Copies of this chain bind each other. A is one copy, B any other.
Amino acid sequence: MSLFSYAAPLDEMRFVIERVLNAPAQWAAVPALADLDADTAAEVLAQAARFTSEVLQPINGPGDRQGCRIVDSRVKTPDGFPDAWRQFVEGGWPALACDPDWGGQGLPQLLNAALFEMLVAANHGWTMYPGLLHGAYETIKAHGSDELKQRYLPKLVSGEWLAAMGLTEPQAGSDLGGVRTKAEPRADGSVAVTGGKIFISGGDHDLTDNIVHLVLCRLPDAPPGTKGLSLALVPTVLPDGTRNTTAADGIEHKMGIHGSATCVMRYEAATGWLVGEPHRGLPAMFLMMNAARLHVALQGLGHLDMATQNAERYATEREQFKGPIARQPAMQRTLGRLRAVTDGLRVVMYRVAMRLDEAEHHPDAAVREAAAAEASILTPVLKAFGTQQGFQGASDALQVWGGYGYVAEYGIEQTVRDARIAMIYEGTNEIQAIDLVQRKLLGGAGPAFETLLDGLLQDAGDDACGLALRDQVGHARAALAALRTAAAADAQAPLWVADDMLAGVGHLMLAWAWAVTARAADSDGDADRARRAAAEHGARWVLPQADVHWARVRSLAAT
């Protein structure tokens, strides 16, 4: 009986990119991406697939069992992790979606999304190290001084150095207003950063010589709360080659992602430089956070795909009651749901990645703005809904293995443990729901959401999946109205159903994905037939769950 393995779903990725989303047409219409064509993109993904299957996945299970440890006050990652990083850098992967002005390849976020789906599926623990690279790059590019940009961007883009994000403190988790780490200005323009941070992924490791920390801190004259937060860049190695006064005091023992060093960091008058204006650290950080949130959503997708493809294979090989267990109705329900949600979420996540490309590169300002608005609404949805589905799906898949699923060597139990963290970090899923409902839908993005709904409806045909999509759009409109009614009476009331609204929108987007998939998979070939079957399975068996969420949102207006 074969154990866990990973084959990147290149055919599905190509199907979504070319036939469902028609991304090559978008690239052709955008000068910055006009050099890219479908075959080149497919070749890039095929190379990434080889790296993830041959280099990353084989060190995933061993990395989980070995974990990270501190040796001579420095973090040592599992065997093979530094070497895999070297190969990743040699392949030019860190630079994939970065600006050519800073040494990047200038490829679209869409391809970067597919890359990260593969990296996480193959090895979530390892992928934590490059996970914050792009966010740090974006933040320094947008807010750093020219000197900081010159000094740090090229080496982050090349992957010679890595980045870490220092936000959380023991008393300041979801509530970053409680951050106490201090930054004292010095005469030379630098700041002396003093404080402690916890849960710092990749705060220390042996993959690169230098690690660029972006640290939320407070200047002496800072007002209290989040409006007094500044952001400082604090490298572990200073420009003159000496070590900065930063140290990893410990690493957490966690449920999963054992290959990722989750550090307790101490900064003792460590030398840093402000990124952006004093007291404007939070907006700068949000840039980093939004990039990170889409990556976390992709973690849900990566885990789902890994769980689904291995469960499908196992269920075909394992025989009980005189046939493969894949034939049993209960297994067909489970496998059908896993396949439908995996493929549906991929369509939605890649759509949002395309919107980010539009928002960055499209020549028309109105298109850029509309694309950014949609991405802003859907980012918290995909972060929370995607990671919830990733964890739930991994646990559902574990059941396919029966008792073997609970045994470490079969691999799926690690996926369940690893997937669980994604519901927590980069803003808990509860925080995402508040963001969606209060900051977005009731905070100015309501009209953009209605525009999104209008657009989805245009994709609804008269087949079963199209009708299901129409139904979901109707529910979403009613739910938005109910939120507005409830908020008019009591601004806090919508918080009671924020998670339901988010889950409802998640299902709505799945309904759209299944509708456009069923239409795009229009050939008589086996692959297209399977795609249509998965989409119809989703509409038939998964979407009813949305009714509960929409009903709870509507019930708010009634009470």
What residues of chain A have their CB less than 8 Å away from a CB belonging to chain B? 168, 171, 173-175, 177-178, 198-199, 252-256, 319-321, 328-333, 391, 395, 398-399, 402-403, 405-409, 413, 416-417, 420-421, 423-425, 428-430, 433-434, 492, 495-496, 498-499, 541, 544-545, 547-548, 551-552
A393 to B175 CA separation, bound complex (whole angstroms):
25
Q: CB within 8 A of A406: which of B320, B408, B420, B547?
A: B420
Asked whether, in the complex, the Cβ of A406 is within 8 Å of the Cβ of B329, the reply is no
Which residue in chain B gives the minimum CB-CB distance to A334? B430
Asked whether, in the complex, the Cβ of B330 is within 8 Å of the Cβ of A498, the reply is yes
Asked whether, in the complex, the Cβ of A175 is within 8 Å of the Cβ of B321, the reply is yes
Asked whether, in the complex, the Cβ of B330 is within 8 Å of the Cβ of A408, the reply is no
Chain B residues positioned under 8 Å from A430 (CB to CB): 328, 330-331, 399
17 A–B pairs (Cβ distance < 8 Å), ordered by A: A171-B319, A174-B321, A253-B407, A254-B406, A254-B413, A255-B408, A330-B430, A330-B433, A330-B495, A330-B498, A391-B395, A398-B420, A399-B429, A399-B430, A405-B424, A406-B421, A541-B552
Chain B residues positioned under 8 Å from A253 (CB to CB): 407-409
Distance in Å: Cβ of A176 to nearest Cβ of chain B: 10
Distance in Å: Cβ of A432 to nearest Cβ of chain B: 10
Asked whether, in the complex, the Cβ of A424 is within 8 Å of the Cβ of B395, the reply is no
Which residue in chain B gives the minimum CB-CB distance to A540? B555
Asked whether, in the complex, the Cβ of B403 is within 8 Å of the Cβ of A424, the reply is yes
Which residue in chain B gives the minimum CB-CB distance to A175? B320
Chain B residues positioned under 8 Å from A333 (CB to CB): 496, 499
Most B CB within 10 A of own CB, among A395, A492, A551: A395
A-B contacts besides A178-B320, A544-B548, 16 pairs, CB < 8 Å: A173-B402, A175-B321, A252-B408, A253-B407, A254-B413, A255-B406, A329-B495, A330-B433, A330-B498, A391-B395, A395-B420, A399-B424, A399-B430, A406-B424, A413-B420, A547-B551
A492 to B331 CA separation, bound complex (whole angstroms):
14
Distance in Å: Cβ of A543 to nearest Cβ of chain B: 10
A416 to B395 CA separation, bound complex (whole angstroms):
11
Distance in Å: Cβ of A277 to nearest Cβ of chain B: 25
Chain B residues positioned under 8 Å from A199 (CB to CB): 403
A171 to B332 CA separation, bound complex (whole angstroms):
21
A547 to B403 CA separation, bound complex (whole angstroms):
31
Asked whether, in the complex, the Cβ of B255 is within 8 Å of the Cβ of A498, the reply is no
Chain B residues positioned under 8 Å from A330 (CB to CB): 430, 433-434, 495, 498-499
